[in-house]
Amino acid sequence: LGPHLPLRLAQQPWHLLYWTGRDGFSLQTLYRRGGQAGSPTLLLIRDTEAQAFGAFSATNIHFSTGFYGTGETFLFSFSPELKVFRWTGKNNFFVKGDVDLLMIGGGSGRFGLWLDGDLNHGGSHPCETFDNETLSPRDEFCIQDLEVWGLA
């Protein structure tokens, strides 16, 4: 993913902020451990079908009443090769952190990536924000592992 990150982050050290194997399956815990305000984060997911995918956000993942983020936000998948889906400019539905739902990308009632409050289930659909493909083999998936990385 390195070449796809903003240039200013190319040589920055990253560290693990949240991992379901250590911190449990909880969106609230993810928000609490999601990094310093305004600090970039990388969300990595592996589903129960061994598919890997995720998102980069130029700002930390946190609870919000509306969408936040910048055009540097993108979705990605490894299926089996890396595919990166960048901002289209069609809308600004980058990231929204509800109490029971994390949404990344949107438009026409669909989200590029969404995760439930227990971080057990999620989904992915093509969306206007990133003009992405479905990131996992199925529209809805079960999460096996989830990591959030931030700048050290």
Tens-digit pLDDT profile for residues 70-104: 999 999 999 889 999 999 999 999 999 999 999 99
Q: Which tokens go with 9?
A: 């982050």
Instruction: Classify residue 111: in a domain, yes or no.
Output: yes
* Domain assignment present for 36: yes
Residue 54 is assigned to a structural domain of this protein: yes
Q: Give the whole-angstrom CA distance, residue 80 versus residue 152.
A: 29
Answer yes or no: is 1 within a domain. Answer: no
Range of the domain at 60: 13-151
For residue 152, what pLDDT is reported? 65
Band (145; pLDDT cuts 50, 70, 90) = very high
Q: Considering its fold, how many domains does the chain have in total?
A: 1
| Residue 112 three-state SS | strand
Contacts of 32 (CB under 8 A, 6+ apart): none
Residue 4 in any domain: the answer is: no
Supply the pLDDT for residue 146. Answer: 98
- Whether 5 is covered by a domain: the verdict is no
- Does residue 6 lie within any of the structural domains? no
Residues 143 and 122 sit within 8 Å (Cβ to Cβ): yes
Report the alpha-carbon distance of residue 26 to residue 33 in Å, rounded: 11
pLDDT for residue 11 is more than 90: no
Inter-residue contact 94 to 56 (CB < 8 Å): no
**Tokens of residue 2, six digits:** 């390195």
What predicted TM-score, i.e. pTM, was given to this entire model? 0.95
**Is residue 78 assigned to a domain?**
yes
For residue 72, report the phi and psi dihedrals to the nearest 5 degrees: -80, -15
Interatomic CA distance for residues 121 and 140, integer angstroms:
7
Determine phi and psi for 54, rounding to 5 degrees. Answer: 170, -155
